[in-house]
Amino acid sequence: MAEPLALQELIRRQDWVVTRAQALQAGLSRHAIVYRLRDGGSWRSLLPGVYLTLPGAPTQAQWETAALLHAGPRAMITGAAALRYYEFRQVPRVDNNVVDILIPARCHRTSTSCVRLHRTAYLPLRWVNGPSTRRYVFPARAVADTARWLTDLREVRALVGDAVQNRHCAVAQLADELRTGGTPNGALLRKVIAEVTAGVRSAPEAELRDLIVRARLPVPLFNPRLYLPNGTFIASPDAWWPDAGVAIEVDSRQWHLAPDDWERTMARHSDLGQYGIVTLHVTPQQLRSAPDAFLRRAANAYKSGIVRPRLAVVTLPAAA
């Protein structure tokens, strides 16, 4: 027996997922629902009262739709599922099979093995309408929510670096999420936001900054824009001591968006020397495996730099 036309249309709009209440409202009897859910039937249960109307394993999109239908009309997708929707590169590999859903604080729905509900008094007033009927929080909220569930500072740095470098959201938007109170347990995110505000744009750069602070060296500027006095742009190195004329570049393909970006970075490294800028190169692996050796090089370069005449280089802060 075919479903009523209105129900067929609803099922198509909802990624072939439907709730028991919707099926009843559309005219199916309880007996008809039970018949479709029998062994070998055309429907299968995904979540309590939520059914997949196609054979085979559900797709990620169908799980997300089912999670929203289970959670209620004001629910929104956040966390890793939202990050994947926005095509983040640094999606933490934590419970990737679980869909994180925001719901109003007074909602009495419960989590399941595949759906993790998060009650909040700061439910966003706006959202992004994804394919089908899926609702996603904006990128800044997805980052903030995900960050507060993480315990590894390096993962939070990678996530925020992805968000800022790839223009998913601005650091000011992340700071707004902290200020509005919608992200409790936000100590790691707060630390990373402070780093990004200081110009840091990636996890390796943040690790570099930590090392320099611990070594009690002067903290360099991160990602400043360097110009000649005539206004000619020179480069924007990862770190820069203007009084010493020393730049630091953290060399890693992972933190460049494409092969062309990597080639441009290598060309930039070569160009710095023609203006008298001393450039130290270090990889993220070297920062982690041999930090003392790098710090000795950095300290020697800084001490040598501050005794020579200051370079005629104009320094502007990192671009927002």
Which of 13-17, 59-63, 95-99, 164-168 is predicted least confidently? 95-99
**How many residues in the chain?**
320
pLDDT tier, 260 (very low <50, low <70, confident <90, very high otherwise):
low
For 62, the token pair is 């169908």
- The model's pLDDT over 201-214, given as tens digits with 9 standing for 90+, comes to 888 999 999 999 99
Sign of the Cα torsion 122, 123, 126, 128 reads positive
- The model's pLDDT over 155-203, given as tens digits with 9 standing for 90+, comes to 999 999 999 989 999 999 999 998 886 566 789 999 999 999 999 988 8
Which of 127-141, 180-194, 299-313 is predicted least confidently? 180-194
Q: Give me the mean pLDDT over the 225-238 stretch.
A: 94
H-helix segments, the chain = 5-13, 20-25, 30-36, 60-71, 79-85, 139-149, 153-165, 171-179, 187-197, 203-214, 259-272, 284-289, 291-306
Q: Give me the mean pLDDT over the 37-64 stretch.
A: 94
CB 90 within 8 Å of CB 162: yes
Pairing of the two strands 314-316 and 233-235: unpaired
Alpha-carbon distance 17 to 20, whole Å?
Answer: 10
Which of 51-65, 67-81, 134-148, 270-284 is predicted least confidently? 270-284
* Integer Rg of the chain from CA: 26
pLDDT tier, 309 (very low <50, low <70, confident <90, very high otherwise):
very high
Q: Which residue has the tokens 């009843």?
A: 24
Percent of the chain topping pLDDT 90: 77
Sign of the Cα torsion 160, 181, 78, 112 reads positive
Helices (H) and strands (E) in the chain, counts: 13, 15
CB 162 within 8 Å of CB 88: yes
Nearest partner of 277 among 307, 310, 255, 319, judged by Cα: 310
Instruction: Provide CB contacts within 8 A for 172, sequence distance 6+.
Output: 320
